[in-house]
């Protein structure tokens, strides 16, 4: 317990050092930089801004509340990482869930590691750390890899070294970005696994790819069943992709239009008398509000 108290006191001491304009640290070569960089410092939440390079775009409200409850009981066990922008101003590199949960609790400070880096280094650190530590969905991971290629100019070999993954694994994730956007959305919403996505990549025709995607959802096909369906598609020139039974063409077209507009797999059920219902799934309060805005905009 005494050790923990000493560590917290050290963080407060460093915080005071950072508030002294005469000792403003702008680079790793400045006086006292070695006392700050790499050490845990208590920073005020109001002085930290969100990283615009954050690859994760949505945060589940329920899991944030669970994390907040844990922080209330145990504190922030793993400090966030920030980079220094200017005197008294910082930007998140990693740890946005801990940052959001701490704000949710009404905390004023948070333990942090401070790094001095330029924008490119910050982007690389954020992407690599999120790939390694966060529970990203397959498409988010793929997009992070793609950004490392496009914006940092890393090769797959260099990425392999940075994130500790085989080149073949990285290549498999990147191939997911060739899927139709509707299929990608299905993966992000948890309707499909990465195994399903890897099987669907082998269907080049977009219309057929979406037809098989719909069958996977409707019949709840496993990855093995999907692979068999795709194999049969290639082996038989006249393969007829099974469709949901007795589904009118206007419903099929409407489903695709809805899925494209709402960014989610929209379920349409129709009875023999022609009546039916439309179901739009959502994954969080934030996602619900997004869909609600789209509906209001369409009026």
- HEC string of 163-194 equals HCCCHHHHHHHHHHHHCCHHHHHHHHCCCCCH
d(Cα 178, Cα 195) in Å, to the nearest integer? 15
Least confident of 152-156, 208-212, 244-248: 244-248
The predicted model gives 36-57 an average pLDDT of: 78
pLDDT over 50 (residue 2): no
**What pLDDT band is residue 10 in, cutting at 50, 70 and 90?**
very low
pLDDT score recorded for residue 276: 76
Confirm if 128 and 150 have CB atoms less than 8 A apart. no
Domain map of the chain by residue range? 2-117, 137-177, 179-298
The predicted model gives 204-228 an average pLDDT of: 89
19 vs 138 pLDDT, higher one: 138
d(Cα 267, Cα 259) in Å, to the nearest integer? 9
The predicted model gives 178-200 an average pLDDT of: 89
d(Cα 174, Cα 209) in Å, to the nearest integer? 18
Mean pLDDT of the chain, nearest integer? 78
Least confident of 48-57, 84-93, 114-123, 273-282: 114-123
Token pair of 21, please? 């304009």
**What pLDDT band is residue 5 in, cutting at 50, 70 and 90?**
very low
How do residues 63-115 score in pLDDT, each as one tens digit?
888 888 888 887 887 788 888 887 878 888 878 889 999 999 999 999 988 87
pTM to 2 decimal places? 0.47
pLDDT score recorded for residue 32: 65
Give whole-number Cα distances, 214 to 141, 226, 264, in Å: 24, 11, 12
Q: Which residues of 128-143 are buried (b: 16+ CB within 10 A; e: fewer)?
A: bbbbeebebbbbbbbb
Residue 86 pairs with which residues in a beta bridge?
89
Confirm if 116 and 26 have CB atoms less than 8 A apart. yes
Smallest CA-to-CA distance from 56 within 96, 104, 16, 9 is with 96
Q: Which residues of 166-190 are buried (b: 16+ CB within 10 A; e: fewer)?
A: eeebbebbbebeebbebbbbbbbbe
185 vs 18 pLDDT, higher one: 185
Q: What is the share, in percent, of the chain residues with pLDDT greater than 90? A: 12
**What pLDDT band is residue 8 in, cutting at 50, 70 and 90?**
very low
For the domain with range 2-117, which CATH number is right: 3.90.600.10, 3.90.1530.30, 3.20.20.450, 3.40.50.150? 3.90.1530.30
290 vs 34 pLDDT, higher one: 290
DSSP-assigned letter for residue 46: G
Report the catalytic residues. Answer: 96
d(Cα 101, Cα 220) in Å, to the nearest integer? 35
Residues 6+ apart with CB under 8 A from 232: 239
């Amino acid at each position: 317990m005494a050790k923990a108290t000493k560590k917290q006191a050290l963080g407060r001491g460093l915080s005071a050092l950072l508030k002294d304009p005469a000792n403003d640290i702008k680079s790793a070569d400045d006086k006292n930089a070695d006392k700050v960089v790499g050490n845990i410092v208590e920073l005020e939440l109001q002085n930290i801004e969100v990283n615009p390079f954050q690859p994760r775009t949505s945060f589940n409200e329920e899991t944030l509340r669970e994390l907040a409850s844990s922080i209330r009981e145990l504190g922030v066990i793993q400090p966030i990482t920030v980079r220094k922008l200017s005197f008294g101003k910082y930007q998140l590199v990693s740890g946005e869930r801990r940052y959001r949960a701490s704000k949710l609790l009404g905390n004023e400070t948070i333990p942090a590691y401070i790094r001095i880096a330029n924008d490119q280094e910050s982007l690389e650190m954020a992407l690599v750390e999120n790939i390694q530590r966060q529970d990203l969905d397959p498409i988010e991971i793929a997009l992070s890899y793609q950004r490392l290629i496009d914006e940092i100019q890393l090769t797959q070999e260099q990425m392999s070294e940075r994130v500790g993954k085989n080149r073949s694994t990285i290549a498999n994730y990147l191939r997911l970005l060739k899927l139709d956007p509707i299929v990608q959305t299905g993966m992000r919403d948890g309707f499909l696994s990465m195994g399903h996505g890897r099987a669907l990549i082998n269907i080049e025709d977009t219309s057929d790819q979406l037809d098989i995607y719909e069958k996977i959802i409707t019949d709840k096909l496993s990855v093995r069943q999907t692979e068999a369906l795709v194999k049969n598609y290639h082996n038989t020139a006249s393969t007829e992709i099974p469709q949901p039974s007795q589904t009118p063409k206007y419903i099929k077209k409407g489903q695709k239009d809805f899925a494209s507009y709402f960014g989610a797999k929209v379920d349409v059920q129709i009875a023999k008398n022609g009546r039916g219902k439309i179901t739009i799934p959502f994954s969080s309060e934030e996602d619900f509000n997004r869909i609600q805005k789209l509906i209001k905009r369409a009026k």
